[in-house]
Amino acid sequence: MERRAFLYWVGVGTLASSLPVAIAACSADSDSTISTSSSPDTAQSPAQSSPAVQNGYATVGTVQTLDQSGSIQAKDFAAGPLLVVRNPSDKTKLVAVNATCTHKGCLVDWNAKEQLFVCPCHASKFKSDSSVAQGPADKPLATFAVKTEGDSVLVKAS
């Protein structure tokens, strides 16, 4: 093979071998375009999880959801993990507690059958007014002011 022909084929080979790299570079740009276009969605998510606050009250859910599931939980609520239930002794009223157990800090659940907040860690139980029904916890759960406006459930974060 002549030297000129050899150099020609080396040049073609170099171009051909760099083509996949160029395509991959274009694909990387496409991906960044996709992630850029999805950024507004990502930006909306925190807004959706951070409810609007008016007069210290934040919307944490709907009455419909509360009645369907028996409780509203918001572990990322600004003032601490939140649990909202209907007051068992007056179903027209709601109860909102900080779900952090006062014993060692596990998160309590609402037991609708017992009508008590129950801690899964060491079995402390709290009445719907947040007072201790059964230890080892010896302090009541912290409570929040709660109200409804239309179908919205609002809890005061401070």
User: Scanning residues 127 to 156, which ones bind ligand FES (CB under 6 A)?
Assistant: 136-137
Query: Both tokens of residue 23?
Result: 């395509």
Encoded one letter per residue, x for contact with ligand FES by CB under 6 A and - for no contact, window 86-105 reads ---------------x-xxx
Encoded one letter per residue, x for contact with ligand FES by CB under 6 A and - for no contact, window 54-93 reads ----------------------------------------
Q: Which is nearer to ligand FES, 63 or 133 (CB)?
A: 133
Other C-beta atoms lying within 10 Å of the C-beta of residue 136 = 14
- DSSP letters, 64-130, are HHHHHHS-EEETT-TTS-EEEEEETTEEEEEEEEE-B-TTT-PBPEEETTTTEEE-TTT--EE-TTS
Residue 21: CB minimum distance to ligand FES, A:
57
- Is 121 an interacting residue with respect to ligand FES (CB under 6 A)? yes
Give the DSSP H or E segment for 15. helix 3-49
Q: Which of 106, 133, 142, 157 binds ligand FES (CB under 6 A)?
A: 106
Count of residues near ligand FES by CB under 6 A: 11
Question: Rounded CA gap, 132 and 115, in Å?
Answer: 13
Residue 43: CB minimum distance to ligand FES, A:
37
Residue 63: CB minimum distance to ligand FES, A:
29
Question: Rounded CA gap, 69 and 110, in Å?
Answer: 11
Question: Rounded CA gap, 37 and 32, in Å?
Answer: 8
Binding site for ligand FES (CB under 6 A): 101, 103-106, 119, 121-122, 124, 136-137
